Amino acid sequence: MTDEQAVLVDVANGVMTVTLNRPKAKNAVNKAVAVAVAAAMDELDSNDAIRVGIITGAGGTFCAGMDLKAFVTGELPIVEGRGFAGLVEAPPQKPLIAAVEGFALAGGLEVMISCDLVVAADNAKFGIPEVKRGLAAAAGGLVRLPRQIPPRVAMELALTGDFMDVERAIQVGLINRAVPAGTALAGAQALAATIVANGPLAVKLSKQVIAESGEWSAQEMWQKQQEIVMPIFTSEDAIEGATAFAEKRAPNWKGK
Question: Which one from 110, 215, 227, 247 is the annotated catalytic residue?
Answer: 110
Single pTM value for the model: 0.94
| Torsion angle defined by CA atoms of residues 17, 21, 27 and 33, in that order, rounded to the nearest 10 degrees | -80
Is 110 an annotated catalytic residue? yes
Give the pairing type, strands 96-100 and 83-84.
Answer: unpaired
Q: In b/e form, how buried is each residue of 55-92, taking b as 16+ CB within 10 angstroms?
A: bbbbbbbbbbbbbeebbeeeeebbbeebbbbbbbbbbb
User: Tell me, what amino acid is at 105?
Assistant: L
For position 103, what pLDDT does the model report?
A: 97
User: What's the alpha-carbon Rg for the chain, to the nearest Å?
Assistant: 19
Q: How many residues are listed for the chain in this entry?
A: 256
**80 band by pLDDT with thresholds 50, 70 and 90:** very high
Higher pLDDT pick, 162 / 2 = 162
d(CA 86, CA 92): 10
Rounded to whole angstroms, how far apart are CA atoms 51 and 20? Answer: 20
Helix, strand or coil, per DSSP, at residue 117: strand
Please count the other Cβ atoms lying within 10 Å of the Cβ belonging to residue 176: 18
The matching CATH number, chosen from 3.60.15.10, 3.40.50.720, 2.120.10.80, 3.90.226.10, for 3-196 is: 3.90.226.10
Q: Is 156 part of the annotated catalytic residue set?
A: no
For residue range 133-184, list pLDDT tens digits in order.
999 999 999 999 999 999 999 999 999 999 999 999 999 999 999 999 999 9
Longest CA pairwise span in the chain (Å)? 62
Point out the catalytic residue in the list 130, 167, 220, 227: 130
Question: What does the alpha-carbon distance between residue 93 and residue 88 come to, in Å, rounded to a whole number?
Answer: 13
Judged by DSSP in three states, 165 sits in strand
Q: What angle do CA 83, 15, 35 make, to 5 degrees?
A: 25
Give the per-residue pLDDT at 2: 47
Q: Any idea where the domains of the chain sit in the sequence?
A: 3-196, 200-246
pLDDT (tens digit per residue) in 204-254 = 999 999 999 999 999 999 999 999 999 999 999 999 999 999 999 999 898
Of residues 16, 29, 191, 176, the one with CA closest to residue 92? 16
What would the pLDDT profile of 28-73 be if each residue is shown by its tens digit? Answer: 999 999 999 999 999 999 999 999 999 999 999 999 999 988 878 8
CA distances from 76 to 33, 35, 86, 136, 241 (A): 11, 11, 11, 15, 46
Cα 126 to Cα 102: distance, rounded to the nearest angstrom: 9
Angle at CA 80, nearest 5°, toward 1 and 100? Answer: 55
